[in-house]
Chain A
Amino acid sequence: MKKKLFFSIFTAGALAGGLLSTKAIAQTEELSPEEEIRLVQEFNRMLAEGINPGEVWYEVGKDAIKKYNLDKCDLGLGPGVFKGAAAQLPRYFADAGKVMDLETRVGWCLQKHAGMTQDQVLKFVRQCWGKTGNCVSEYDGIIMYLTMESNGHKINVNLKDPRVKKMYDLGKQVYYARIGPWDFNCATCHAGKQEVRIRATRLWSADRPGEAGNAVAIFPKYLVRWGLPMTMHYRYAECIRQMRWPEFIPHSDLAVALSTYLYATGNGTEIKAPGIGR
Chain B
Amino acid sequence: MKKTLFIAGLSVLVFGTAEAQQKKAQPKKEQPSTKQEDVMQVLNSGLSTDPRFAWKIQQDEAQRICSQYPSREVMPGQAIQKVIQLSQADIRYPQWGIFWGDWREGKKIVDNPRGGRFASYGFSDSPTDRGGNCYACHLIEKGLPGGTMGPNLYQYGKRWNITKENMNTPEALERVKIVYNIIYNSWSAFPCSSMPRFGHNGALSPEDVMNIVTFLLHPDSPVNK
Interface residues, chain A, with chain B CB atoms under 8 Å away = 25-30, 126, 129-131, 166, 169-170, 172-174, 176-185, 187-189, 191-192, 196-200, 237, 240-242, 244-249, 252-255, 257
Given contacts A170-B38, A183-B66, A241-B119, 18 further A-B pairs with CB under 8 A are A26-B122, A26-B123, A27-B123, A29-B113, A131-B122, A173-B39, A178-B59, A179-B59, A182-B116, A183-B196, A184-B194, A196-B148, A199-B135, A247-B50, A248-B47, A248-B48, A254-B42, A254-B47
Smallest Cβ-Cβ distance to A127: which chain B residue: B121
Interfacial chain A residues near B116, Cβ < 8 Å: 181-182, 244
Would B46 and A182 count as touching, CB distance under 8 A? no
CA distance A253 to B34 in the complex (A): 15
Most A-side CB within 10 Å, residue of B70, B122, B187? B122
Q: B123–A28 contact, CB under 8 A?
A: yes
Shortest distance between the CB of B130 and any CB in chain A (Å) = 12
Closest 10 CB pairs of A and B: A130-B122, A254-B46, A252-B46, A130-B121, A247-B48, A246-B53, A182-B196, A129-B121, A253-B45, A181-B201
Q: Indicate whether A249 sits within 8 Å of B149 (C-beta atoms), given known contacts A28-B124, A130-B123.
A: no
Residues of B within 8 A of A180 (CB): 56-57
Closest beta carbon of chain B to A80's beta carbon, Å: 29
**A207 vs B23: C-alpha distance when bound (angstroms):** 27
Closest A residue by C-beta to B202 = A181
Q: List 13 A-B contacts (CB under 8 A).
A: A26-B124, A129-B122, A166-B34, A173-B34, A179-B57, A181-B202, A181-B203, A198-B147, A199-B135, A199-B136, A247-B47, A248-B46, A253-B45
Q: Please name the residue on chain B nearest to A206 by beta carbon.
A: B70
Q: Is A246 a contact of B47 with CB atoms below 8 Å?
A: yes
In the complex, are the beta carbons of A254 and B59 less than 8 A apart? no
Q: For residue B48, which residues in chain A have a CB less than 8 angstroms away from its CB?
A: 246-249
Q: State whether A257 touches B42 (Cβ < 8 A).
A: yes
Asked, given contacts A179-B59, A241-B123, whether A246 binds B34 with beta carbons under 8 Å apart, the answer is no
Q: How large is the interface on B (under 10, 10 to 19, 20 to 34, 35 or more residues)?
A: 35 or more
Instruction: Known contacts A248-B46, A254-B46; decide if A188 and B145 are in contact (CB<8 Å).
Output: no
Hey, which chain B residues are within 8 Å of A242, CB to CB?
A: 117
Instruction: Choose one: B39, B53, B147, B196; the contact of A170 (CB below 8 Å).
Output: B39
**How distant is the Cα of A179 from the Cα of B47 in the complex, in angstroms?**
12
A54 to B70, CA, bound (A): 36
By a CB distance below 8 angstroms, the chain B residues around A244 are 56, 116-118
Interface SS of chain B: helix, strand, loop or mixed?
A: loop
Complex Cα–Cα for A188 and B201 (A): 17
Seen from chain B, the residues whose Cβ lies within 8 Å of a Cβ on chain A are: 32-34, 38-39, 41-43, 45-50, 53-54, 56-57, 59, 63, 66-71, 113, 116-124, 135-137, 145-149, 187, 192, 194, 196-197, 201-203
Among B33, B34, B117, B121, the one with the most A-chain Cβ atoms within 10 Å of its Cβ is: B121
Task: For the complex formed, measure the closest distance between the CB of B34 and the CB atoms of chain A, giving whole angstroms.
Answer: 5
B149 and A198 contact, CB distance less than 8 A: yes
Known: A26-B124, A130-B121, A182-B201. A192 touches B71 (CB 8 A): yes
Q: Is B194 in contact with A188, judged by CB distance below 8 angstroms?
A: yes
Q: With contacts A30-B113, A184-B196 known, is A179 near B43, CB below 8 A? A: yes
Q: How far is the CA of A26 from the CA of B120 in the complex (A)?
A: 10
Contact B42 A253 (CB under 8 A): yes
Q: Are A130 and B59 in contact (CB under 8 A)?
A: no
* Nearest B residue to A179, CB-CB: B59
Q: How far is the CA of A131 from the CA of B123 in the complex (A)?
A: 8
User: Which residues of chain A come closer than 8 Å to B146, judged between CB atoms?
Assistant: 199
Find out whether the CB atom of A174 lies under 8 angstroms from the CB atom of B147. Answer: no
**Assuming A198-B147, A237-B119, A247-B120, is B67 touching A185 (CB within 8 A)?**
yes
Q: Which residue of B lies closest to A168 (CB)?
A: B33
Closest beta carbon of chain B to A187's beta carbon, Å:
7
Residues of A close to B196: CB separation below 8 A: 181-184
Q: What is the CA–CA distance of A246 and B48 in the complex, to the nearest angstrom? A: 5
Inter-chain CA distance A30–B129, complex, in Å, is: 15
Bound Cα distance from A181 to B197, whole angstroms = 8
Residues of the A chain whose Cβ atoms lie less than 8 Å from the Cβ of B194:
184, 188-189
Picked from A179, A181, A200, A254, the residue with its CB within 8 Å of the CB of B45 is A254
State whether A187 touches B118 (Cβ < 8 A). no
CA distance A254 to B40 in the complex (A): 10
Residues of A close to B54: CB separation below 8 A: 246
Report the minimal beta-carbon distance from B1 to chain A, rounded to whole angstroms: 10
Q: Is the CB of A183 within 8 A of B201?
A: yes
A177–B59 CB distance below 8 A: yes
Query: Are the CB atoms of A246 and B56 closer together than 8 Å?
Result: yes
The residues of B that contact A179 with a CB separation of less than 8 Å are 43, 56-57, 59, 63, 67
